Amino acid sequence: MQQLSSYVGGQWVKGSQGGQTLVNPATEEPLASASSEGIDLAAALEYARTKGGPALRALSFAERGAILKGMADALQAARDELLALGMRNCGNTRSDAKFDVDGAIATLLAYAELGTQLGAGKFIVDGDGLQLGRSPRSHGQHVSVPRHGVAVHINAFNFPAWGLAEKAAAALLAGVPVLSKPATATAMLAQRAMQVFVENKLLPEGALSLLVGAPRDLAQHLGAQDVLAFTGSGDTGEHLRALPNVMRHSVRVNVEADSLNAAVLGPDAGASGDMLELFLKEVVRDITQKAGQKCTAIRRLLVPAEHVATLRDDLAGLLAGYKVGNPADEDVRMGPLTNAAQLADVREGIGRLGAQGTLVTGGAQPLFPKGYFLAPTVFEFAPGAQADAVHAREVFGPVVSILPYADDAAAIVARGGGSLVCSLYSEDAAWLEDTVAGIAPHHGRVYIGHPKIELSPGPGTVLPQLVHGGPGRAGGGEELGGRRALGFYLQRVALQGSRPLIQGLAKAGTQV
């Protein structure tokens, strides 16, 4: 059985024996082990700060972007191998594995292009300079410069390739070195991606490190110039924010946590037509893609009360045609959950929903003697039901709840306490205006579906051009969003002094 290595201090290092066993979630076959025991985490961070940081800061945005382009090309060359790992270690169908790996490649390419646009500058000149007071020589200018620390990225199990690339692309382009910590359960794919980068000698020494196994006390070694970006449970995010060194040094923390994303069918959509078909298509995709293990997956369906019966029957019929099983079988359309703990957690969530709602299809029963499989599951709740189980906790699997509404859609959506994305399906401009105004403060993104948008990625696809994050329960953070993502890794500073001197200093930057 393979023992995964970390890449820290410019070399591959294996942790002490033991650690966590990684398995094929379709067969429960052991695949590898991962441990971080015995690795000097403080030294790994310091190596990134002292070697990777200066090397990246010496490069222009265009040169950093060229590195990202090289990383994307290298992943593309290794794509088939990475897809196979996604199927074995993550339980992905080939389509779901493509969603992860191709998402990583596309994000790296998007930030590579941004690097080209930002050009020869090494930092960002933020807006026009200002005359300060009466003297024209008294001048002020805001600039944003790379922080002299390391970006620690703690990623979730569901997107081992995309998660690594999504966070690393923005940090590296900003000029800040990265230590990436993938979730252990699916770390085989992240480690192989890192091997591809190292084998191709794409990055300066110390610019990108990888830690497999438990994070141990990694976050406790962060200081004032460092940043921490975490994707995972709200409880863990709260713990990280409360660490004494994080609070003492005001370490920047970005959290993407739980999210009860909603899809709202507008009153005008009716019981048939193109809009309803689009709604059903995108709901089914979000329930089944990666077995519902997406932070952006739809969890709550808000449907006009008079159309619930039609929607319920149509949705159940569509899901009945989805074959669940081992992704190695070509006709399988949905694979297993990632591990036994995830399966147990989703089953517990199904039990909570079933205590308050009516099961339409699916359920918590095991499908096969081996593997972590569940059927796509739908619950229906009565009109006006409190449905606390729906709004209190995310069930991170192929599970969705139907909630009838009258004229209170925005209020019901807001009960989720803050989400990454809400999707609306309507052509009623007045209804959309009112509903967007009601839900926008509770979300990082609002998706308005329309059947005439060709090849729409739907609400469940995170795009590098748009902000990914959300308030409240969703963690209160922001990632991506094009150039906006760089701000997390840059320090905005006001330069004040003689106009010729300040303008001379600003010449090394890129005006935005």
Residues tagged active-site: 256, 295
CA–CA distance, 364 with 10 (Å, rounded to integer):
46
Structure tokens of 119? 């050009």
Longest distance between any two alpha carbons in the chain, whole Å:
80
Tell me the C-alpha distance between 55 and 75, whole Å: 23
User: Is the Cα torsion angle 482, 486, 487, 492 positive or negative in sign?
Assistant: negative
Backbone angles phi, psi at 496, to 5 degrees: -135, 130
| Cβ partners under 8 Å of residue 452, min gap 6 | none
Alpha-carbon distance of 64 to 81, in angstroms, equals: 26
CB 263 within 8 A of CB 189: no
Question: What is the rounded CA–CA span in Å between residue 3 and residue 103?
Answer: 27
CA distance 377 to 363: 6
Tokens of residue 416, six digits? 């989720």
Choose among 457, 492, 129, 117: nearest CA to 286.
457
Cα four-point dihedral sign 209, 214, 215, 217: negative
What count of other Cβ atoms lies within 10 Å of the Cβ of residue 342? Answer: 22
Asked if residue 265 lies in contact with residue 311, where contact means CB atoms within 8 angstroms, the answer is yes
Contact call for residues 11 and 195 (beta carbons, < 8 A) = no
CA distance linking residue 4 with residue 24, whole number of Å? 15
- Up-side HSE of residue 187: CA atoms within 13 Å toward CB? 29
Q: HSE-up of 346 (CA within 13 Å, CB side)?
A: 29
**Residues 6 or more apart whose Cβ sits within 8 Å of residue 330:** none
Tell me the residue type at 121: G
Residue 478 CB neighbour total at 10 angstroms: 18
The 10 Å Cβ neighbour count of residue 420 is 29
Neighbours of 495 (CB within 10 A): 16
What is the residue type of 229?
Answer: A
